[in-house]
Structure 1
Amino acid sequence: MGKTPEDTPVLVEKERRRFLQLAALGAGASLLATTSWVPEARAAGETEALLLTCMDFRLMDEIERYMTYRGLRDKYDHMILAGASLGALTERYPAWNKTFWQHLEISIQLHHIRRVILLDHRDCGAYKTFLGDAHTETPEREAKTHAQYLHELARQVRMKHPELEVETLLMDLNGKVEAI
């Protein structure tokens, strides 16, 4: 169907609006490209702690609730490694150990943390993958295995950074946390 003279004003108006939309988008992009108005990114200052947890999706909400309950909401750096303390110590993935120590150093430098919170959890797939199912035969044995890795990582942190407080914790799948 051809265009009629009656359609011309409507088409011109649509094209004019489209041109203005594109021009506005281009101007916005130009503003974003210029950094004179964008504040410089800086470290946020001090925070309370570095929290190391496992990557298990089942506990993300519980971890947030626990940290909020303790009055630490928005007052900690959160580092995640599969297996938490085991992930930081495993020889299977040596880069994870290096990453943990690098994150700890950055957290100290940028945010002046005063403590490290090591939070493992029960029914951890990384523990089962790296160590086998035997460590979960009983709740007591599972806690003992977690305690072994939590305490070793805590010992290493205290040795390298005696000024830092270190907490070792174990979380149930229901969110209950116990000191180990």
Structure 2
Amino acid sequence: MEMLQFSNKLLQNETALKNLALQLTRNSQDAEDLFQETFCKALEYREKYRSDSCLGAWLYVIMRNIFINMYRRKKRSLKLFRTVADSTPAMNSIELSYRLDTCDRPIKSQIAQLPNHYQTPLVLYLEGYKYLEISELLAEPLGTIKGRIFFARKILKSIIERS
């Protein structure tokens, strides 16, 4: 199938996909991210689409899988934040993840122990910035930012476990 034909078929499913994304995420910004990620994946893997099958169902499966992966990542990151919050009784995970300025000294000092190239993206992430926003702010590739935040959490977790 030609790229133009495939793109036209994608656009025919746009409204249904946006509605589905909103149902899954229950948040308009997250729904938009999910929708865009689905379109990107569909374009990236268009060679795998068989023209004799239903495009809407194929797109639904892609979106569902992306949503599940996002949910699992979020769940894993919350587990780390709970671990950190448990080590500092004065804080809960929500305060830690979104309001660093209310953190008590031990957490701030543990975050301060991180190398600067890990610390900056992690602090921005904990303040509520999305990966793409951090990537743009720091003028770094998105994959680099995701990796640095991942390793920063891992290092922070080991620092907390040692103390």
Q: TM-score range by the shorter chain?
A: under 0.3
The structure carrying a bigger helix percent of its residues is 2
TM-score by length of 1: 0.22
- Say which structure is richer in strand: 1
TM-score between the two structures when normalised by the length of structure 2: 0.24
